[in-house]
């Protein structure tokens, strides 16, 4: 998978140095910017990493003319992805720590877990996420992926502060039963906070991060229940997308997404 866009290129990490550069960008965004907890060892190396990293493919957005020396190897955006065929043969899905994912692990065709998506602050609001999603589209086609899913995050851990957003997602974008994964029982947090007639759509959309809105605009659904990730200082929802629906809406969405007021923000 390789996308050449002039100054920018999107490709998979193909060496340990590439993965380390992705982890250092993740550290800048998730730990330094968003307040996630890092171990002393990870803080010393300024790397956000976990035991799942060796099993994922790491999709990189690289600026060939990157002027920032802190952005190692020019890596300005990252996504990590793992196919169900890989998960079944190895470590399982990362998101299974937060959601009951048996429906997606055993789905009859290939599914793909997305995670640790982020773009450096200096590259948000431009074409960064568009290029990453273009690369993701190539990856999906190459591996004949039917379902995309992943945990995405709201900053902070106070559900009352985003009650409008969580309730809107629950009432309007809940996944169909055959794809409706649930937050793990001992950490299940209801998204059905407000009755449907008390949801203010405009306020809900204001509260929803840009990346989650992107998934929804592309036809995405949410699983049932949210998960509070205290280590990452986030409230997580599980997003699920049928790739056929994504392809139908892709062109329209990205025509809108490239307008000057669009943003790209970090997500789990």
pLDDT of residue 263: 32
Give me the pLDDT at residue 245, please: 67
Beta bridge partners of 119: 77
Asked if residue 237 has pLDDT above 60, the reply is yes
In this prediction the pTM is 0.87
Express each pLDDT in 144-187 by its tens digit. Answer: 999 999 999 999 999 999 999 999 999 999 999 999 999 999 99
Least confident of 183-192, 196-205, 213-222: 213-222
User: From CA 155, how far away is CA 145, in angstroms rounded?
Assistant: 29
Q: Is the dihedral of CA 193, 149, 96, 94 positive or negative?
A: negative
Measured in residues, the chain has a length of 268
pLDDT tens digits along 46-74: 999 999 999 999 999 999 998 887 788 99
Query: 52-79 burial, b for 16+ CB within 10 Å, e for fewer?
Result: bbebbbbbbbbbeebeeeebbbbbbbbb
Instruction: Decide: 129 and 119 in contact? Cβ < 8 Å.
Output: yes
CATH number of the domain at 79-257, please?
A: 3.40.630
What is the CB neighbour count within 10 angstroms for residue 47? 21
Q: What is the pLDDT of residue 54?
A: 95
Taking residues 239-255, report their average pLDDT. 66
Which pLDDT tens digit goes with each residue over 83-138?
Answer: 999 999 989 999 999 999 999 999 999 999 999 999 999 998 778 888 998 999 89
Spatial distance between the Cα atoms of 32 and 182, rounded to a whole number of angstroms: 30
Cα 231 from Cα 1, distance rounded (Å):
33
Whether residue 109 contacts residue 20, with contact meaning beta carbons closer than 8 Å, is answered with no
Could you tell me which residues come within 8 angstroms of residue 199 by beta carbon, excluding any fewer than 6 positions away? Answer: 164, 167, 168, 171
| β-bridge partners, 100 | 182
**CB of 12 closer than 8 Å to CB of 1:** yes
């Amino acid at each position: 998978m390789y996308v050449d866009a002039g100054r920018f290129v999107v490709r998979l990490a193909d060496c340990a140095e590439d993965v380390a550069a992705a982890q250092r960008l993740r550290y800048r965004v998730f730990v330094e910017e968003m307040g996630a907890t890092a171990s002393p060892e990870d803080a010393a190396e300024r790397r956000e990493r976990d035991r799942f990293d060796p099993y994922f493919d790491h999709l990189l957005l690289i600026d060939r003319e990157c002027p920032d020396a802190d952005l190692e190897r020019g890596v300005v955006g990252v996504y990590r992805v793992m196919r169900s065929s890989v998960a079944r043969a190895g470590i399982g899905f990362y998101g299974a720590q937060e959601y009951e994912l048996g429906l997606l692990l055993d789905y009859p065709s290939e599914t793909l877990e997305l995670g640790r998506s982020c773009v450096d602050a200096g590259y948000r609001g431009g074409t960064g996420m568009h290029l990453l999603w273009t690369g993701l589209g190539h990856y999906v086609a190459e591996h004949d992926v039917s379902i995309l899913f992943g945990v995405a995050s709201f900053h902070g851990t106070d559900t009352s502060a985003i009650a409008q957003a969580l309730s809107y997602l629950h009432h309007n974008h809940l996944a169909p039963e055959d794809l409706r994964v649930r937050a793990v029982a001992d950490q299940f947090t209801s998204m059905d906070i407000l009755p449907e007639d008390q949801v203010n759509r405009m306020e809900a959309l204001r509260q929803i991060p840009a990346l989650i809105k992107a998934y929804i605009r592309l036809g995405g659904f949410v699983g049932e229940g949210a998960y509070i990730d205290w280590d990452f200082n986030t409230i997580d929802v599980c997003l699920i997308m049928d790739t056929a629906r994504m392809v139908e809406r892709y062109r329209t969405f990205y025509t809108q997404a490239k307008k000057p007021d669009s943003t790209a923000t970090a997500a789990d």
